[in-house]
Structure 1
Amino acid sequence: MKDIIVAKRDGIARVALNRSSARNAVTLAMWRELADIFSHFACDRDVRAVLLAGEGKDFSVGADISEFDSIRDDKRQAADYEVAVDACSGAIAALGKPVVAVISGYCLGGGCHLALACDFRFGDRTATIGIPSAKLSIVYGVRSVQRLLSLTGVANAKRILYSADRYRAEQAMSMGLIDEIHDDAPRAAERFLKQLADNAPLSIAGAKYMLNELSTGAGSLDLAMAQQFIDAASDSEDFREGRRAFAEKRAPRFRGA
């Protein structure tokens, strides 16, 4: 049985962590596979948006600590492990397409790491989010701390990281960890992604790049790269299609080129 399931329909890819018996704990092999999956989505024009979820009752309890004795036993192994984790979250964050994490049950530690890398987080009322690194003597990775800070602000980020507490859906939303709460979060997320998938892919890719870079702090935006996104959209067939559709009073048919 595969630990990660990928299904595609109507322009939306659904990526599901598939270790429900282990509450979808993420192994080192899964971090690496997720990085590959999201990297390949960048080249797949049939994928316009992505939904990331967990099979069963939980999104993910985080990294599979049961394998730490063999793969993360000292600072060298820990550094190698963090490279794989950062490559995974980096691939999710860098994908120039909308990504929504659908959170139910536990979303802890490494699971939160995955959710933070997504553009949006939709939860149901069973969602419980937390980062227990302070109870494991682990310092959360720099990029994930940056994402946490940009979403929650410094006071809440400190509370989350210092306390290692768990937060139920309503409190998590008030802190910025969840964007929306729904009784049927997967359906709400799919409906939202279908709406976004109809918009111009080049516009979304450019906006995502700039917002992600700007949110990590002043001076981090590569202005030349941002201009490349602007120029690519301005010189695209989609831009011409958008103008035609506006003039003809119809919905545009964007192709991402």
Structure 2
Amino acid sequence: MSLTIEGPVARLRLNRPDKRNAMDQAMWESLPRLVEQAVATPGVRLILLGSATPGIFCAGADIGEFARETASPEWRARNQAAIRATQLALARAPLPVIALVDGDSVGGGCGLALAADIRIASPRARFGITPAKLGLVYPLHDTRLLVDLVGPGQAKRLLYTGRLISAEEAQRIGLVEELAENVESAAEALAAEMIAVSPFTQKATRATVQRILEGTADDDAASTALFDQAFTGPDFAEGVSAFLARRKPDFAR
């Protein structure tokens, strides 16, 4: 795993190509710390999650490590905690997360993509959630992320069969938001659009969508306060000033 900061963009890269980026315990444990580091870096606006090697995304958990270690209840507990911490770090980060999927995204690897806000996939990407092929059970949190994206029927179809589906089918059922021949270029273009708008609005919107996914159905004191707060913030002042002056807003001021 590696983290690089390029101005407002933090890049998280999986880098275990000999294992098709299969996630071992050390990788599960390091990813939340890297997300935390990215979020804490001043000026960072979003996170791109991808692979250091073209044509690979993530083959899932390291099954060889599973075979060696799962007899130990202590290791299983540590592994489950690390996987959960990774998924929560991505899914609840206050910054937008974009997954760049250029290759197979399977099992726990698909879970990483599910935890992102937006998924951009290349035509050679494939998606599958395969615990049924190993006699395992997918975590509830990750299953909920899948159901939120594709609905219960499609989620059951994928989970009951463990089949791999193409990037085109993944987009059709709502698992992927964008297809691109070059995921890096597409992600950079999307990132530029996102960086050009209000960071306050993005953070507030991410928090609002998360509350909706968790069951909040109507405005309450917290959402009303957030709505009101915007009118007194610097982003609103800059946005209105730019609109009246017929110029592009500069929210980095």
Separation in 2, partners of 1:252, 1:88: 35
Root-mean-square deviation (CA), in Å?
2.1
Of 203, 208, 215, which residue of structure 1 is paired with 2:213?
Answer: 215
- Relative distance call for 1:198 and 1:162 in structure 2 (3 A) is same
Q: Tell me which residue corresponds to 2:15.
A: 18
Which 10-residue stretch deviates more, 206-215 or 62-71? 62-71
Q: Post-superposition shift, 1:222?
A: 9.9
Q: Tell me which residue corresponds to 1:52.
A: 49
CA contact (8 A) 2:196 2:250 kept: yes
Q: Tell me which residue corresponds to 1:125.
A: 123
Separation in 2, partners of 1:214, 1:179: 19
Q: Deviations over 1:22-54 (max 9, x none)?
A: 100111111121101112222223211111111
Separation in 2, partners of 1:192, 1:204: 14
Of 18, 33, 36, which residue of structure 1 is paired with 2:33?
Answer: 36
Separation in 1, partners of 2:64, 2:120: 29
Q: Deviations over 1:45-94 (max 9, x none)?
A: 32111111112221000111211245433555434322211111111111
Q: Percent identity?
A: 32
1:156-171 equivalences under 5 Å are 156-171=154-169
Could you tell me the TM-score, scaled by structure 1's length? 0.90
SS at match of 1:153: helix
Separation in 1, partners of 2:218, 2:184: 33
CA contact (8 A) 2:5 2:38 kept: no
Write the letter of the residue equivalent to 1:41: A
Write the letter of the residue equivalent to 2:63: I
SS at match of 1:42: helix
Which 10-residue stretch deviates more, 124-133 or 62-71? 62-71
Q: Post-superposition shift, 1:231?
A: 4.9
1:146-161 equivalences under 5 Å are 146-161=144-159
- Relative distance call for 1:70 and 1:221 in structure 2 (3 A) is farther
Write the letter of the residue equivalent to 1:12: V
Q: Tell me which residue corresponds to 1:137.
A: 135
SS at match of 2:10: strand
Separation in 2, partners of 1:221, 1:137: 40
SS at match of 2:87: helix
Q: Which runs of 5+ in 2 are unaligned?
A: none
Q: Post-superposition shift, 1:109?
A: 0.5
Of 211, 235, 239, which residue of structure 2 is paired with 1:238?
Answer: 235
Aligned length, in residue pairs:
252
Separation in 2, partners of 1:231, 1:45: 25
Q: Post-superposition shift, 1:146?
A: 0.9
Write the letter of the residue equivalent to 1:65: I
SS at match of 1:51: strand
Q: Tell me which residue corresponds to 1:194.
A: 192
Which 10-residue stretch deviates more, 61-70 or 164-173? 61-70
